Amino acid sequence: MSDDGFLDRTLGAMDLVYNIARRLTPRREDAEDLVQETYLRALRAWNEGRRPDRPEPWLATICLNLGRSEYRRRVHRPLEVDIDAFDVAGPADQLESAVLADLDRRAVHASLWALPAEQRIAIALVDLAGLSTREAAHVMGTPKGTVLSRLHRGRRSLALMVESQVRERRP
Amino acid sequence: MTAHTHDPQNKAAAYVNGAMAGRTLGRFETHLLACEQCWREVQLEQEGRRVAETGRELAPAFLREQIRALVSVSASAAPRPSRSLPKLAAAAVLLVAVLLGVWLSRPTGPPEQPAQIAAATDAYRSGMTVSGPAQRLAPQLRGVGLELVTSGRIRLAGTPVDAFTYRAAGGSLLLLFVSQSAFPQANGAHPATSDMAAGWSARIDGLAVYCGSHPVNYLIVSADNAQVDQARAAVAHEPSTHT
């Protein structure tokens, strides 16, 4: 018995699923488990005749639902940061590209985890997984305007966090 | 744009995400030139998006192979407990497993196996969690009809070993474990040749198990006896095991 084309259609979206999973659970190992669980659930649905036109939003939905239910209970609630705690005075300087390039991925990951969950998920779906805002809205089960708002607040907080880090690095 | 409709955050969000069009877009772009607050919101969102995008990661290669193997196992005829069983079903399976364990461990039952051997057969039935890439190259067993599907570093009862999963054309799986240290001898094992130290085989709970120590310490587990025999001959002559 074969997988009936399941892997051919879905394996290309694995980086997308992995990036979402990494923002649903803080431990890398849990994210890997979540990716596997997502594929097993998807395979089951596939074998029951589900054949989505685009596998990316479909897998994202499964991953998000699993992450919200099973995995949320297992992990600590992330630290949520009040953006008012950052200095927002003055116009936003364009971040030097060298400094931005210097930011390692771990720092970005930590900054993402400092965001409220729904903002982090919106960013994961759109900026990291590459879904459109319409698809992200469908996956999150919210109006598109809500996704736009979450994206804006999340990105704004990220920018302010990085600004703050850049200021700290400056002599 | 009037003060009544001035909403820098939502306007910036719509603008940056391409949700504005036509005259609304034109009006907002004109407004941006004069409004420091809206300009700042747009800048912040664009910067935040750039920061977020630097956080993109590639899924580890071994995870891809694990998923291939999981799908392969799920799609094959071989029954395998799913990790995604609902809790109730999982509890029922656990209860059955415990009862089965109690039954199997009764005095007349099969002998209890050393922890590493038991972990190896458990890995065959229930899958395994890889903690990193394998330290050795995977032995190529295509010559005996076995395709590599996963490789990785795992712990067998606390001992780090390289684990390789192979699949035959018919879908059956074979696990190969390679270790720096010798594997313990299974209870009920028989010498593969006249010398037990050279290798042993055993039938453990329906699985064929073979352990060899040359050219490396290795353990093979499969439901198929003939497959194990073919694999052990191939491993013994495989260049990657001679490193």
- Which pair of tokens denotes residue A128? 């990291």
pLDDT along chain A (171 residues), means of 10: 79 92 89 93 91 92 88 49 35 44 68 92 93 93 95 94 77 66
3-state secondary structure A5-54: CHHHHHHHHHHHHHHHHHCCCCCHHHHHHHHHHHHHHHHHHHHCCCCCCC
Cβ distance B40 to A92 less than 8 Å, yes or no, reads: yes
Of residues B194 and B79, the one with the higher pLDDT is: B194
From chain A, pick out residues whose CB is under 8 angstroms from the CB of B49.
Answer: 127, 155
Nearest-Cα residue of chain B relative to residue A30: B129
Q: Is B193 exposed, middle or buried (0-12, 13-18, 19+ CB in 10 A)?
A: exposed
In A, minimum Cα distance to B81 occurs at A40
User: Could you tell me the pTM of the whole model?
Assistant: 0.53
Retrieve residue B162's tokens: 């390289």
Nearest residue of B to residue A91, measured between CA atoms: B40
Average pLDDT along chain B: 80
pLDDT tens column, B209-226: 999 988 889 999 987 888
pLDDT for A19 equals: 93
Q: How far apart are CA B219 and CA B175, in angstroms?
A: 8
pLDDT class of B104 with cuts at 50, 70, 90: low
pLDDT at B150: 77
Residue type, B217: N
DSSP assignment letter at B239: G
Q: Quote the pLDDT of residue A124.
A: 95
Please say if the pLDDT value at position B230 is more than 60: yes
Query: What is the pLDDT, as a whole number, of residue B166?
Result: 84
**d(C-alpha B126, C-alpha B129), whole Å:** 10
| pLDDT attached to residue B99 | 58
Paired with B218 in beta bridges are B178, B212
As a whole number, mean pLDDT of residues B176-190 equals: 91
% pLDDT > 90, chain B: 22
Q: How far does the CA of residue B178 sit from the closest CA of chain A (Å)? A: 23
Closest Cβ opposite residue A39 in set B14, B45, B67: B67
